[in-house]
Structure 1
Amino acid sequence: MSWKHLVICLNFLVLSTFSSNAQQDVRPATINWGEELREPAGTTIERIITAGSWGAYVLRRKTGNTFTGEQLFVEQYDGRMHLKRSQKVDLRYKGKKREFEDLIWSNGKLYLLTSFNNEAKKKNYLFAQELDRRLLPKKNLQLIGEIDTRDKFREGVFDVAVSRDSSKLLVYNQLPFKKNEPERFALRVYDADFQEIWMQDITLPYGDGNFSIEEYRVDRDGNVYLLGVIYEDRTRVRRNGKPTYNYTILAYTDKGERAQEYRIDLEDQFITDLTVRVGNDGNLVCAGFYSNKGTYSIKGTCFFQLDVNTKEIVHLNLMSFDFEFRTEYMSEGRKDRLERAEVQGNTNRTPELYRYSLDNLILRSDGGAVLVAEQYYVFQQSYRYWDGTLRYDNFYNYNDIIVVNIQPDGVIEWTTRIPKRQETMNDGGYYSSYAMATVRDRFYFVYNDNSRNYQANRNGNRRYLYNFNGRYSVVVVSEITRDGQLNTFPLFTNRDADVITRPKICRQTGSRRMMVYGEQGRNYRFANLEFE
C-alpha cells in the first residue's frame, strides 16, 4: 500500500469516529485511487460515456472561439483507472466543419453524432459515425435525421433518447411551422446498429406556444412516448389561484401508425414535477410531485400507471408527505405555528418543501417506484461600486436530498431526507450535488460536505449544517436501507486525495461499484469506490 493510500485509510478511521449517524465499526465502502494525471490546458472532463469493470470511455471538451472552434477528446481508461489513450476527434468531414451533438455507446460501439447545416439546400443534417479502436471516426457517415431550415441562424435542434435495454434509439426534432399554427416534429426510431425501424412526421393538436415537451421515451418494441404540458393561456402558471396547465402523454405505437393521448387532470392541484418510465412489463409508470400553492414547492407525490394495452390510467394517487417530514429540522416554535395553520386549513401557511427538483425515478420490481429529488435554486445579489458600476453574483444552492419509496398502488411506504447544505458563488455548482448508486436493496449517495458537520462535539444535532462552499471538504456517503433508515459515513477528505470530488461526473459502473472523479487545478484522478 502506498503512503498516500495509507493516509487516506487512516483519515477514514479518524473521521468515522466523528460520524453522528453511523456505527463506528461499519465501513460501507472502500476507495482505490488511480494515478494522478495532468489534463491538457483549457480542457475539462464533461462526462463518462460508458464504464464497467473493464474501464471507461470519457468525453473531454475544450471551449473554442470564433477562430479555433470547439475541440473534443475521447479518453479510454482501464479497470485500474489508468489512462490508455486520449484521442482528439476531428469534426471536419471533407473540409466541412460539423457541430458536435453527442457521443453514445450502442451495441458495444462508440458513435459520434454530429450535425451539418447545408445553407444551399436549407437543411440541417444529423449523422452517426462509428469510432474505431483507435477512437478515430470511421470514414462512412450515416444520415439519421434532417430538418428544413430557413437560414443559418435557425438550424433546428436534434434530441436523442435510448431505451432502457439499449436496443432502440429515438431521434426527435421539431419541424418548421408558422406562427399560431400547430407545432410539427419528426420521430425516427433505430435499432442499436442505427438501422431505421420507422419514421413519422407528426402534427401536434395544439397551437404554437400552448404546448411544450418535457421528456421523450422509447421502449424495447420501438414505441415512443412524449410527456408534455398543455397551457390554457400565456400565463403558463396560474389564474385565480388555480393551475392553467395540464400534463399529457402522447403515445405513438405500431411503428408510429397509431397515436393516443392521455390527459392527466388533477383539478385544483399543481403538478410541479413529473417524469415517465417504461416498466418491465411494457406499461408506463409516471411519478412526480404536487402542490396546493403553486410551482415552487411540493406537498406530496403524484403517482399512476398507464396500461398500454387497455389505454387506462390506473392507481392514480396523490399522497401528502406527513407533517413531521415537511417540518423536519425546523425549530419547535415554528413547528407549532405551522401545525396550527394545518389544523385550521390555512392553505397559504400549510408547510410544503421548497424548490425540489426531481432527479430520478427508479422502478421497483413489483410496479412501485422510488423518487429522488434535491433542493436546488439560484439567487442573485448585486453590488454597486464607488464608481457606479454594478457587480452581480450568482449563488448556487444544492441542499437536502429526499428519497420517497412508493408502493404499486401509489401509497408512500417511507420518506427519508438527507440533510445537506452546499452554497457556492459564481461557479454553477461545479463541485456540488451528489452521485447515486443502487446496491441490492440499498441506496448510496456520495457528495462533498463540510468536515465540521462530523466533529465529535456535534452530539447528533443536525438542525444546523455548516456549508460546503466549494473548497476543502470531506467526501461522505449516505446509506438508505430498505426500510428507509439513514446512515452517513465520512469517506475521505479532499486534501488526502489531492483533488476535489465532482459528484456530477461520478457514476455507478457495476452492481457494487462507483467511478469517482476529482480534480485540483490541472491535476485529476479517477477512483473505484467499492460498496460492501
Structure 2
Amino acid sequence: MKRVLIALFVLLSFNGYGQNVLDNIEVVFGPSFEVDKRSVPTEFVGSDETGFYMVYSMGKKGFGDNYLYKFGYDLKPLINKDLSVLTGGQKTEADNVFMLKGQLYQINRLIGPNSAMVYLHKIDHETLEAGAGRQIAGMSDTERSASRSNLSVKFSLDSSKIAVVYTLPNKRKDFESFEANVFDSDFNKLWSQTFELPYENRLLDIQDYTLSNDGKLFITARRFYNTRRMKSEGEANYDYLLLSFLESGKIDSLNIQSEGKYLRSMRVDVSENGDVVSAGFYSENSSNGLGGAFYLRINGENGEVVSSSFKRFDIDFHTENMTENKVKRVKKRADQGKNVELPHYFIDEFIAKPDGGVQMIGEKRLEITTYISSGLITVPTTTYYYDDIVVVDIDSEGQIKWAKRVAKKQQTTDDGAVYSSYSASITDNSLAFVFNDHADNLDYDGVGKVARMSKNKSTVVMAATVNSKGEIEKKGLFRRGEAEIKIRPALSQQLNDKEMLLFGHNTVRNQRFVIIKFEQ
C-alpha cells in the first residue's frame, strides 16, 4: 500500500548545514519530545486529517511489545495505546497494524496448544482502542504447536485484495503446507484454500509473497537438494521456484533455471500491466557473491515466460568507490579470469515498474563476532559492516540499463548497528537515500578511499539522490551536533513522493523527528 501523508506540515525550518534549502532538498525539524517508556518507531501505519500513526516497539532496538502512537502535524505525540487486546479472555499481541480505505486495523492471533485463530480488529482513531475482533481465519488440531506458525499479510498493488497467509506447523520431513485467505478491501472473504507443496519443510525456504489485483498469490522459494547445504561437489545445491496459487487449489510451479549459477535474494511482484516479475542477484562462484542480475517476466494471463535473462555486472560497477591502485588490481584479476565479485550484498527493496521492468535496491552488510577468553570469562565482540548501497535498473526485456553503487562506509562495534544503514525514498522519477556519513565524503566522486562514518558530533547526515539515468548526487543535510540528536536511518520512513520522516534521539526516551522534503 502506498504511504501517503495528506496534510501539510507547518513547522519552523532549520538552518542546517549553512542553508535551509540545499538545491532541491529542504530540512525541517520538529520539536523534541519524550516518550513514556524506552521505545522506538518501527512502522509508519498511515494518516488522516487529524494526524499520523506509527507503531512503536519497546527497547532501544525495538524488539519488545508494540504500542500504537498518534502524532499531530506539529510532530508531537498525542496519544499512545498498547496494541495487545483481550481475545477469548487471553491477552494477544498484534501481528499486523495497517490502514485501509482510511480505517485503522490490527490483526491478532489467539494461540492454543494446537490451534491458532486470527482476529481482525478496527481501531478507533481518537482513542486508539481496538474494537471487538471478528475471526477471519484459523487452524486447529495441528500436529505441532501452533506457535510455530508464521503469519503474513499482503496487499495487492491497488489495495483491492488482501491475503492472510499462515504456515501449518508440522514435522521437518513433512511437506510444506500453508493456508491462504484472500479478502476484498472490506474484508469479505473471497476464497480460502489449504495448499501442500511437494517439498519437505527442511528443504524449502519461502523467500517472498505477492498478490495480484485479481487475487492470485505468488511465492518465490529456495529449494535444496537432499540436504540443506549451499554447495555440493563444487556446485550450487539449490534452485529457485516461482509458485502460483489459485482459488481452485491448483498450484503452478516454474523452476527457475540457474544455468550453473548461484541465485540469491530472489524477489517477486506484479506490475501494473498484470505481468509477474521476479528478479535477484546471482554469483558465478559462491552463494554470497554479487556477479550479476537475474530477471524473469511471466504473462499474468496465460503464465507463459515473456522474457528471462542472466546479465553480468561490468567491470566499472565492480570497481566503483575504490582507490586507483585497487582498481588496477581488480581489473588485472578480471583480465586473468579470476573472481572479482563483490560479497555480502542483500536486496532490501524490489520495485516492479508499470512496463514490467524492475529496480532492485540493496546494501552490503556483514557482522563478525569474535570471542576473547580470560580465565573462566569469555567476552564476545561483534563488529558491524554496513557499506555501499547498490541500485540496479532492469528493463522489461531483462537488460540491465544501469547498475550503481552509492558510496558509504559504516563500521561500528557492539551497538547493534542502530546508526548504520540507510532510509530510502522511492518515486517514479528518482530514488533518494539518507544515511549517517563522514564529512570528508561530501565531495566524493566515486574514486579514492571512502571515509568511515564518524561517531562524534561532526557526523554528517547525508542525502544521495539517484535519477532515472543512474546519475548520483550527494548533499550534506546537517551535522549531528547541530541537530542535538543521533539519526537512526533504519527506523525512518517515507511519507509520500516528496517527504521522508527521519527519526532520531538524544537518549532513547528523548526523541525528535525531522522532515526531509525532496522537490521533484
Alignment TM-score, normalising by the size of structure 1: 0.88
Residue matched to 1:498: 484
Larger mean Cα displacement after TM superposition, 172-181 or 208-217: 172-181
The superposition leaves residues 50-74 of structure 1 with CA deviations (integer Å, 9 ceiling, x where unpaired) of 247864201123369xxxx964321
Partner SS, residue 15 of structure 2: helix
Quick one: which amino acid aligns to residue 238 of structure 2? Y
Among 347, 359, 370, the residue aligned to 1:381? 370
Residue matched to 1:527: 514
Among 25, 34, 38, the residue aligned to 1:29? 25
Residue matched to 1:244: 237
Residue matched to 1:20: none
Contact 1:296–1:355 (CA under 8 A) maintained in structure 2: yes
| Structure 1: distance between partners of 2:273 and 2:385 | 38
| Structure 2: distance between partners of 1:384 and 1:173 | 43
Contact 1:424–1:469 (CA under 8 A) maintained in structure 2: no
Cα offset for 1:27?
Answer: 1.8
Please say if 1:464 is aligned against 2:458. Answer: no
Query: What pairs with 1:58-457 in structure 2 (closer than 5 Å)?
Result: 58-62=54-58, 71-93=65-87, 95-119=89-113, 122-133=114-125, 134-149=127-142, 154-253=147-246, 255-345=247-337, 349-385=338-374, 387-454=375-442
Contact 2:109–2:117 (CA under 8 A) maintained in structure 1: yes
Cα offset for 1:444?
Answer: 0.9
CA spacing shift, 1:225–1:153, aligned 2, 3 Å: closer
The superposition leaves residues 128-170 of structure 1 with CA deviations (integer Å, 9 ceiling, x where unpaired) of 1111121101124333333544566855232222222222211
The superposition leaves residues 217-246 of structure 1 with CA deviations (integer Å, 9 ceiling, x where unpaired) of 111111101111111121431122221111
Partner SS, residue 209 of structure 1: helix
Mind listing any 5+ residue stretches in structure 2 that lack a counterpart? 1-10
CA spacing shift, 1:380–1:80, aligned 2, 3 Å: same
| Structure 2: distance between partners of 1:459 and 1:208 | 48
| Structure 1: distance between partners of 2:180 and 2:216 | 11
CA spacing shift, 1:100–1:495, aligned 2, 3 Å: same
Contact 1:432–1:470 (CA under 8 A) maintained in structure 2: no
Partner SS, residue 205 of structure 2: strand
Alignment TM-score, normalising by the size of structure 2: 0.90
Among 495, 502, 514, the residue aligned to 2:500? 514
| Structure 2: distance between partners of 1:32 and 1:224 | 41
Partner SS, residue 510 of structure 1: coil
| Structure 1: distance between partners of 2:332 and 2:279 | 30
CA spacing shift, 1:237–1:508, aligned 2, 3 Å: same
Contact 2:383–2:413 (CA under 8 A) maintained in structure 1: yes
| Structure 2: distance between partners of 1:459 and 1:151 | 55
Give the total of aligned pairs: 504
Partner SS, residue 180 of structure 1: coil
Contact 1:128–1:144 (CA under 8 A) maintained in structure 2: no
Please say if 1:479 is aligned against 2:465. Answer: yes
Residue matched to 2:3: none
Contact 1:229–1:245 (CA under 8 A) maintained in structure 2: yes
| Structure 2: distance between partners of 1:93 and 1:199 | 23
State the identity %.
24
Contact 2:347–2:363 (CA under 8 A) maintained in structure 1: yes
| Structure 1: distance between partners of 2:399 and 2:499 | 31
| Structure 2: distance between partners of 1:366 and 1:143 | 35
Cα offset for 1:516?
Answer: 1.8
| Structure 2: distance between partners of 1:397 and 1:376 | 6
Quick one: which amino acid aligns to residue 83 of structure 1? P
CA spacing shift, 1:219–1:131, aligned 2, 3 Å: same
| Structure 1: distance between partners of 2:447 and 2:72 | 40
Contact 1:58–1:74 (CA under 8 A) maintained in structure 2: yes
Cα offset for 1:94?
Answer: 5.2
CA spacing shift, 1:426–1:145, aligned 2, 3 Å: farther
| Structure 2: distance between partners of 1:210 and 1:390 | 35
| Structure 1: distance between partners of 2:444 and 2:203 | 53
Quick one: which amino acid aligns to residue 281 of structure 1? N
| Structure 2: distance between partners of 1:438 and 1:216 | 20
Partner SS, residue 125 of structure 1: strand
| Structure 2: distance between partners of 1:186 and 1:459 | 51
Cα offset for 1:357?
Answer: 0.5
Partner SS, residue 35 of structure 1: coil
Residue matched to 1:47: 43
Residue matched to 2:5: none
Cα offset for 1:26?
Answer: 5.2
Residue matched to 2:17: 11
Cα offset for 1:471?
Answer: 5.0
| Structure 1: distance between partners of 2:283 and 2:439 | 35
| Structure 1: distance between partners of 2:422 and 2:172 | 42
Contact 2:144–2:169 (CA under 8 A) maintained in structure 1: no
Contact 1:59–1:74 (CA under 8 A) maintained in structure 2: yes
Contact 1:480–1:487 (CA under 8 A) maintained in structure 2: yes
| Structure 1: distance between partners of 2:333 and 2:440 | 35
Cα offset for 1:29?
Answer: 1.0
The superposition leaves residues 370-425 of structure 1 with CA deviations (integer Å, 9 ceiling, x where unpaired) of 1111111111122233x441110111221101111112111111122111011122
Contact 1:149–1:156 (CA under 8 A) maintained in structure 2: no
Cα offset for 1:434?
Answer: 0.9
| Structure 1: distance between partners of 2:171 and 2:432 | 49
Contact 1:362–1:369 (CA under 8 A) maintained in structure 2: yes
Quick one: which amino acid aligns to residue 478 of structure 2? F
Contact 1:145–1:171 (CA under 8 A) maintained in structure 2: no
Contact 1:338–1:350 (CA under 8 A) maintained in structure 2: no
| Structure 2: distance between partners of 1:530 and 1:174 | 41
The superposition leaves residues 229-283 of structure 1 with CA deviations (integer Å, 9 ceiling, x where unpaired) of 1111214311222211111111113x24432111101221111221111111111
